[in-house]
Amino acid sequence: MELLFEIIKFIIYSLTIVYISKAILVKLLRRLAEILDLKAKTVGNIAGSATSVPELLTVFFSSFQGLIQTSVYNIISSNVINFLQYYISIIINKNGNYLKNKAIKIEIGIVIATIIIPILIMITNIETNITIVPIFVLTFIMLYYIRGNAYKVYKIKDEDNEKLQKIEKEKKWIRGKTKLAIITSIELVITGIALFIIGNLLGNTLEKLSYIFNIPEIIIGIILGLVTSVPELITFIDAQKHHNKNQSSANGVIEATSNLFTSNMLNLFIIESIGIVVYSLVN
């Protein structure tokens, strides 16, 4: 009976984190991006950061509870699922032709690397201790640099680019833009606090499931990966639908790909590093 109760709590906390991330956090970040008139790639970066918050919370609290393997399996499953969901969203929106662009290909190649690297670490039994953190951080910077140069060299041209530029020039500034940006930022902070509190409760439940009921960490990690990847699927599809309506399909693919890239990069190199540091300090 107690096991069932803990499983129910696990499901409730996990789904709550996903719901807040999807229904509140992602929308607030998109609103802030639109207020500041950011480009599709930048909006994708922001969305990727937002949708990685569930992974950050689950990795942080599972590592804090000493479940480092759970965090590793969480990252691997999240990155694999993100990649599959991205392709599904491309197929649904019939945007496969934009994947031929070399900048997109380089981005996707790096995304595949974020899947292969942790799998190789697991297969070769490389110890994920604090010494690997500087390597992860430097790799993160290097790959972001490569991706940035790829976009400079291989620019994506939208078939309606000239028309869209005229529309952008004709846009008027929204009154009270600064005030709206401040309000949105405050709402983001409040949302972050709420996620942190729920993440702490989830961490306690994870500890009980693993240590008291002996559920293998690989199972917990994979389930967490499935749950925390839901926001990415939603933002992949929404980004392309949003830009398709504005006759700017290329921007939709750019945003979705940037979202995927940022999410997977953060998951592996930054969030996993945070988990390793937390685990090392606690233990």
pLDDT in tens, 27-81: 887 788 778 777 888 888 888 887 788 788 888 888 888 888 888 888 888 899 9
pTM score, whole prediction: 0.79
User: Alpha carbon of 29 to those of 23, 36, 144, 187, 248: distances in Å?
Assistant: 11, 11, 21, 10, 21
What are the domain boundaries of the chain?
2-156+174-282
pLDDT in tens, 115-129: 999 888 888 877 778
**Distance of alpha carbon 89 from alpha carbon 85, whole angstroms:** 6
Note whether 81 and 220 are within 8 A (CB): no
